[in-house]
Amino acid sequence: AQSVTQLGSHVSVSEGALVLLRCNYSSSVPPYLFWYVQYPNQGLQLLLKYTSAATLVKGINGFEAEFKKSETSFHLTKPSAHMSDAAEYFCAVSASDTGRRALTFGSGTRLQVQP
């Protein structure tokens, strides 16, 4: 079984500041991990994924995440926030074995970017 915990339902940063969105996972098998972004009235867009290759994963829009097995974490970062980054962000996990294929999502973090 897998689960995801996202710490902080709301995060507010100033434009140009570092963005850090936290995600911790629990999985009985090696996980595949994903970050998705959702803009208002839209579906989820994939930002990046970890599938057991490099532990530092670079995604779109300048985001990256680092898989840390010892901390069971997959935090999302961006060095400098832009106003267009304001959205809701979801961390998700799926099993790497032949078990459940569907994604298990965290509860989401709404990012607000202040001018």
Partner 1 sequence: GAGVSQSPSNKVTEKGKDVELRCDPISGHTALYWYRQSLGQGLEFLIYFQGNSAPDKSGLPSDRFSAERTGGSVSTLTIQRTQQEDSAVYLCASSLSGTGVRQPQHFGDGTRLSIL
Q: Which residues bind partner 1 (CB under 8 A)?
A: 32, 34, 36, 41-46, 49, 51, 90, 92, 94-96, 98, 100-108
- Cβ distance to partner 1 smaller for residue 56 or 102: 102
Give me the residue label for tokens 């979801």: 90
Name the minimum Å distance from CB 38 to partner 1: 9
Name the minimum Å distance from CB 102 to partner 1: 4
Name the minimum Å distance from CB 111 to partner 1: 17
- Cβ distance to partner 1 smaller for residue 55 or 114: 55
- Cβ distance to partner 1 smaller for residue 19 or 57: 57
Q: What's the full length of the chain, in residues?
A: 115
